[in-house]
Structure 1
Amino acid sequence: MTTIRGARTAKGRMRSPWRIALLVALAVVVLGTVGLGWIYLRLNSSIHTFDSGGLSKHRPTAGPSQSENVLVIGSDARNDGNSSLGGGDANDIGRSDTAFLLHIYADHKHALAVSIPRDTLVTIPPCKLPDGSWTKTQTKTMFNAAFSVGQTDKGNPACTQNAVEQLTGLRVDHTVVVDFKGFAALTSVVGGVRVCLPQDVYEKDLDPNRATLGNLLFKKGEQTVSGQQALNYVRIRHGLGDGSDIGRIKRQQAFLSSLIKKVKGNGITPTNLLPLADAATKSLTVDPGLGTANKLISFAMSLKDIDLHNTKFVTLPWRYAGERVAVVEPDASNLWAALKADRTIDGTDASGRKQPQGGASESPTPTRNVSGAGIDVAVYNGTTMSSLTPKAVAALTEHGFNVTVTARASSHDGTTTVIEYGAGLKPQAETVARLFPGAQLDFIGGLGINVVLGAPYATGSSSAPATPTAVPSWVTDDARSADDDPCSNLTYGSGG
């Protein structure tokens, strides 16, 4: 006869497999959660952030859309173990030999990366030094020098970000610096990147100071590279095409296209991104807004819907100025204006806004939303109506603009209000123009913005509305999509 105690014991034995299974499942969940938490903790401890206190006090205002601008800097620093990959002085804090501004359109279905040649002559705004003082503005200085002006790893990224905001008139939302180690590690984690060489490449092509040709580094044609080989590929400048940095930029754009294709092919999921983040954070320096693993991975996840064909690469409109590179205007300003308006380089509206029914265009943003913080404006009266100047000054100061000069225009027919702007200032000029309906935008060179008042401003009427200027065809025709053939458009100049 089975006792009550025996019955309970037997019943307990029958339940024990389910109980064990439940405990095992619970343990797996707990351990998995703890493990994931440990990984995030490790990632957080590896992330380096730069000093955002070095950012300019007169930054461009953020636009009304949900677009984002991300500055990506490739540092050639030799410190922190990078000299083993790139050679040179192990104490060298480096320059930004590779840099591009990535514009993620508000619809999060399009992206455009604009490469900025290292030799571009730009204005470098004041930069914060380790002792807390600020440098003076430097004009006609090579762009890659901005990264070393701050004299420290913590300060350099802010100096370069200030220079890019000065150049483009666009607010940079995030900045990411990748050094040699981080780049090599990323390419290894994804299992290598498919590239193409237009010809055989030897050691002398990487180091022109060599007396001999050296060993063969790459055979002509397609191949997969990672680690040191990948680093060699993006650094090669001499011996391909005309040996210029412009040609190297083309190969770097092709490499990034293949890298994006590989990452998207593997699948953009938190599980796949964790190994990438683990490798990257050991050698990444980011702005505080990306300073945690969660923020970095969330940002990467936000890019998963951008199609390869809609991921484009272009180079800042440029021309040679002796041995340096000059910005071509107004072409560059037209490119920045397109990004600010969330127009793709082919003119597509990628703002994500719904168009009104019937095909009518949207009404302009009300002037109450105009912010002129940090924008200096000179006002010139091109009419005989003396009351126009105080009216314009009051409107500008009410919206935060800083009016620096008021005077009579030297010569103007007074039939149209004109907003004149200097290099890199078209986006700010467009902000000014929102207070002057129908104003004409006119690039004049120089460094400032002038409002030349016309008769229509007296009555509040407008002449023909200003329309955005298209991105020049010579820029769009040279664009690369992330799904392009890796062997196409690899060099500039001879041999291309």
Structure 2
Amino acid sequence: MTVTSNRRAAPPRRRARGGTAGGDGSRGTGPRPTARDRRRRRARRIRLGFTLCLSLLVLAAAGAGWLYLRLDGSITTFDSGGLSDNRPAAGSSKGENVLVIGSDSRTDGNAALGGGDKNAVGRSDTTFLLHVYADHRHALAVSIPRDTLVTIPPCKLPNGSWTGTQQDTMFNAAFSVGSTDKGNPACTQNTVEKLTGMRVDHTVVVDFKGFASLTQVVGGVKVCLPNDIYEKDLSPGRATRGQLLFRKGEQTVSGKKALDYVRIRHGIGDGSDIGRIKRQQAFVASLLKEVKSNGLTPTKLLPLAEAATRSLTVDAGLGSAEKLISFAMSLKDIDLHNTKFVTLPWRYEGARVAVVQPDADELFAALRADRTIDGKNASGKKTTSPGPSPSPSSTPAAVSGAGVDVAVYNGTTVTGLGARGAAELTADGFTVTGTATATAQDHTATLVEYGAGEESRAETVAKVFPGAELELVTSAGISVVLGQSYADTAASTTSSAAATPTALPTEVADGARSADDNPCSNLAYG
């Protein structure tokens, strides 16, 4: 007899989700996951990945924030209330002027590196004004000898009062106004602005510790000595010459050794501060090489910033790590060959140094106009082609004088007018074959004289001097006789005759150093 059950057969077991059965590793027998199941799994993985990335970003930002806060806490700013109310106007150029002051203050452990009294008044040993051209591809540093006789304008004292103007005073005395152990950066900035007619955008003071730390972070700096140097050369008061500090030739220095190198004045050349400036310029050039070779990136700059900020005093405009690093990054496109070092035009006046004019005014005029050491336009602005016929009453368009030779004559009694006209021509690419005083010095208008077949080139020359007259002469070549009209235009441009873009004075340009020069070249004066 067959017994039939009314109970329905159990449904087949559904395959475990994911395609496998339990923990025995055997394959399940159920259906594969649906598209909806796959989308859910994918969404969970994306959420997990996003959460991990977000967590990493938060940690990284927290770490960077902590580092920036730590750097910010190391930066000291000076009182901007000490800056003069009578400052040069900010120019239309996008270039920047940065004043760098090397302080020999002995406070905060600096006496261990430089010796001397830790309670002594702060002094400045090294000062240069760095002009970063508006194109941010060129830079020029002007060293100012510490013994230069200058006018120190009114400066703020610690008690809030202001000094009177000091005439014919040594330049480094400005930093000591107020007789504090930290010095007076604002007074030095006021003095530099008075001397140059240029507005200083930022001021940085570096002490012994900051300097030593920088050289260690970059792994040392290549320098060169023209002869052996002993302890007595660094400390002339010694009775004996002492131990050998540096051997003649090229070597790498860092820390206190680097500091000793830049402080040495005696035992090389004539032992003057001018000679020391040359070696300091060579040192800064080598330091820039090391920094550039390591790469100007935030990652590479952070260790430098950490070392520098421990001993920097800056203006409020650079008063944070972010601002300092941002400024450093803005310099990354400046080529070493386009980074130049010159010294303020000078001459000895007894035991002191006097500023040579009009060379100094011409130097600062070139910088204000963003003209490079060879007279090129570094303003970052494109020049336009000259029109077919210049208008005598209008400002001349950009002129290209390539391939045109010109002789320049001063047809007035105004001293230096020939050199000024020659500089304008050189800046526009003309070749000036010479300058001289004209036979007659009563010319009212400027005259461009030209020989047969030279009319077209003479017209190009005339574009440099609005209102110039052309005259065909029997002699070959082209010459310019500058008249009183040109002298009046030059005088009205600025009282110091400093606004016309020019090349640097020849003596200044010839003594310039490039940051890529051999460290053993041009090291001693005298």
TM-score (norm 2): 0.72
For the pair shown, the structure with the greater C-alpha radius of gyration is: 2
State the distance in 2 between where 1:307 and 1:258 align. Answer: 13
1:119 paired to 2:152:
no
Report matched runs for 1:238-387 at 5 Å: 238-358=266-386
> How far did 1:213 drift?
1.1
The two structures, once aligned, show a CA RMSD in angstroms of 3.1
Residue 82 (1) aligns with residue 113 (2): no
Shift of 1:130: 1.1
Residue 449 of structure 1 deviates from its aligned partner by: 5.2
1:40 corresponds, among 65, 68, 75, to 68
Q: Which residue of 1 aligns with 2:265?
A: 237
Counterpart AA for 2:512: A
C-alpha contact (below 8 Å) 2:119/2:181 kept by paired residues: no
> Do structure 1's residue 439 and structure 2's residue 488 form an aligned pair?
yes
Q: CA deviation at 1:440?
A: 4.7
- Equivalent residue, structure 2, for 1:58: 86
Separation (CA, whole Å) in 2 of partners of 1:308 and 1:488? 16
Pick closer, same or farther for the CA change 1:359–1:273 going to 2, 3 Å.
farther
Contact 1:128 1:155 in 2 (8 A): no
Deviations 1:431-463 (A, max 9, x none): xxxxx99735469xxxx9599xxxxxxxxxxxx
Aligned to 2:190: 162
Deviations 1:3-56 (A, max 9, x none): 979999999999999887665544332221111110001111111000000001
Does the aligned pair in 2 maintain the 1:50–1:155 contact within 8 Å?
Answer: no
Aligned-partner Cα distance in 2 for 1:106–1:40 = 28
Q: Distance in 2 between matches of 1:222 and 1:302?
A: 31
Instruction: Tell me, in whole angstroms, the C-alpha distance in 1 between the residues paired with 2:42 and 2:97.
Output: 62
Q: What CA distance in whole angstroms lies between the structure 1 residues aligned with 2:513 and 2:21?
A: 73
Shift in CA distance, 76/21, structure 1 to aligned 2, threshold 3 Å: same
**Contact kept in structure 1, 2:174 and 2:184, CA below 8 Å:** yes
| Structure 2 CA distance for partners of 1:244 and 1:20, relative to 1, 3 Å | same
- What is the aligned partner in structure 2 of residue 419 from structure 1? none
Whether 1:478 aligns to 2:503 is: no
- Measured in 1, the distance between the counterparts of 2:81 and 2:183 equals 9
Q: Which residue type is aligned with residue 133 of structure 2?
A: Y
Question: Shift in Å at residue 231 of structure 1?
Answer: 0.3
Q: What's the counterpart of residue 226 of structure 1?
A: 254
SS in 1 for 2:257: helix
Structure-2 separation of matches of 1:162 and 1:119: 17
Normalising to structure 1: TM-score of the pair? 0.76
- Name the CA distance, whole Å, in 2 between partners of 1:414 and 1:486: 50
2:57 is the counterpart of 1:29 = yes
Q: 1:106 to 1:7 in 2, by over 3 A?
A: same
- Deviation sequence 1:389-415 (CA, Å, 0-9, x none): xxxxxxxxxxxxxxxxxxxxxxxx997
How far apart, in 2, do the equivalents of 1:15 and 1:449 lie? 74
Displacement of 1:345 in angstroms is 1.6
Letter in 1 for 2:519: P
Residue type matched to 2:515 in 1? A
1:492 aligns with 2:525: yes
Q: Which runs of 5+ in 1 are unaligned?
A: 366-412, 417-435, 452-465
Runs of 5+ in structure 2 lacking a partner? Answer: 1-12, 23-36, 397-441, 446-484
User: Larger RCO: Structure 1 or Structure 2 (Cα < 8 Å, ≥ 6 residues apart)?
Assistant: 1
What is the DSSP-based 3-state SS (H/G/I as helix, E as strand, rest coil) of the residue aligned with 1:209? coil
User: In structure 2, do the counterparts of structure 1 residues 230 and 364 end up closer, same or farther at CA, with 3 Å as the change threshold?
Assistant: farther
Q: Secondary structure at the match of 1:348?
A: coil
**Residues 271, 440 of structure 1: CA spacing in aligned structure 2 closer, same or farther, 3 A cutoff?**
same
Instruction: Report the AA paired with residue 476 of structure 1.
Output: A
Decide which moves more: 20-29 or 83-92: 20-29
- 1:211 corresponds, among 239, 249, 267, to 239
- Whether contact under 8 Å (1:122, 1:143) holds in the other structure is yes
2:175 maps to 147
Deviations 1:169-222 (A, max 9, x none): 110010000000000001101111111111111111100001111111111111
CA contact (8 A) 2:376 2:503 kept: no
**Which letter does structure 2 place at the counterpart of 1:288?**
A
Distance 1:18 1:469, change over 3 A: closer
Deviations 1:317-340 (A, max 9, x none): 000011110000010000010001
Q: Which amino acid aligns with 1:197?
A: L
The alpha carbon displacement at 1:474 in A equals: 1.2
| Counterpart among 201, 205, 228 of residue 200 in structure 1 | 228
Residues 144-169 of structure 1 show CA distances to partners (whole Å, capped at 9, x for unaligned) of: 11001033467700000000001001
Q: Deviations over 1:351-384 (max 9, x none)?
A: 111111348999759xxxxxxxxxxxxxxxxxxx
- Rounded Cα–Cα distance in structure 1 between residues aligned with 2:114 and 2:14: 80
Given that residues 49 and 154 in structure 1 are in contact (C-alpha distance below 8 angstroms), is that contact kept between their aligned partners in structure 2?
no
Give the direction of change, closer, same or farther, for the CA distance of 1:18–1:354 in structure 2 (3 Å limit): closer
